[in-house]
């Protein structure tokens, strides 16, 4: 493995690890007309989101940089949780690929109720994981700004949320902050859901 490439991947892993929340931004939107940042009534309420990204035990056939990714969403009276396995793969001194793996639903539901410290010690089998290939993102590191930027280009990742056909994602990851802008488009390439301009901003807790 290229030493410089792995060093860059470890830096991205360091920036990702920990707990993040968009609570600061959520308070700015809460109770206000958020139509300026959304396209329809479904996304008028800016969701409160918490991300927990925990180093996981090494898994056979995966890179050494593996994480449990827990996402918790509060929107109106709805409370949703999901658990994924993230793998960072060193490509070059400037590029690191993030691969997302899905757990079987029953196993995911069981691990979701574990305390964070207990979850971090859980070992899953790589054979049980399903790779979500459409959500693979390559992040490019800018040494001048120390920012990792990545995106899902149009039509790479299909979805059916709110009548959409595909999703685009633009992300920037730096020390203490993650910015994510998700936009959903129909088959005619018209945006039907998601942010207009202001990304979700998650700050390290």
Average pLDDT of the chain, as a whole number: 86
Q: Which of 146, 170, 176 is nearest to 156 (CA)?
A: 170
User: 183-200, pLDDT tens digit by residue?
Assistant: 889 999 988 877 877 788
Tens of pLDDT, residues 16-58:
999 999 888 888 766 554 444 444 434 444 678 899 999 999 8
Predicted TM-score (pTM) of this structure: 0.86
Confidence of residue 160 (pLDDT cuts 50, 70, 90): confident
Give the residue among 204, 201, 205 at the shortest CA–CA distance from 48. Answer: 201
For domain 3-204, give the CATH number. Answer: 2.40.128.590
Residue 49 near residue 21, CB atoms below 8 Å = yes
- Answer whether 119's CB lies under 8 Å from 111's CB: yes
What does the alpha-carbon distance between residue 99 and residue 59 come to, in Å, rounded to a whole number? 14
The whole-number pLDDT of residue 25 equals: 83
Task: Provide the pLDDT for residue 31.
Answer: 52
């Amino acid at each position: 493995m290229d030493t410089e490439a792995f060093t860059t991947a470890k830096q991205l892993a360091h920036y990702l690890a920990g707990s993040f929340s968009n609570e600061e931004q959520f308070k700015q939107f809460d109770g206000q007309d958020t139509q300026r940042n959304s396209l329809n009534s479904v996304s008028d309420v800016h969701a409160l989101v918490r991300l927990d990204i925990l180093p996981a035990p090494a898994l056979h056939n995966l890179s050494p940089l593996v994480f449990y990714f827990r996402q918790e969403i509060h929107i109106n009276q709805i409370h949703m949780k999901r658990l994924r396995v993230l793998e960072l793969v060193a490509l070059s001194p400037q590029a690191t690929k993030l691969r997302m793996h899905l757990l079987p639903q029953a196993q995911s539901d069981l691990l979701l109720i574990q305390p964070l410290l207990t979850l971090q010690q859980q070992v899953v089998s790589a054979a049980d994981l399903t790779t979500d290939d459409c959500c693979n993102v390559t992040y490019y590191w800018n040494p001048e700004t120390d920012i990792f930027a990545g995106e899902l280009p149009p039509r790479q990742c299909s979805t059916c949320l709110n009548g959409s056909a595909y999703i685009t994602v633009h992300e920037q990851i730096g020390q203490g902050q993650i910015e994510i802008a998700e936009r959903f488009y129909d088959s005619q390439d018209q945006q039907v859901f998601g942010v207009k301009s202001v990304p979700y901003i998650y700050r390290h807790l």
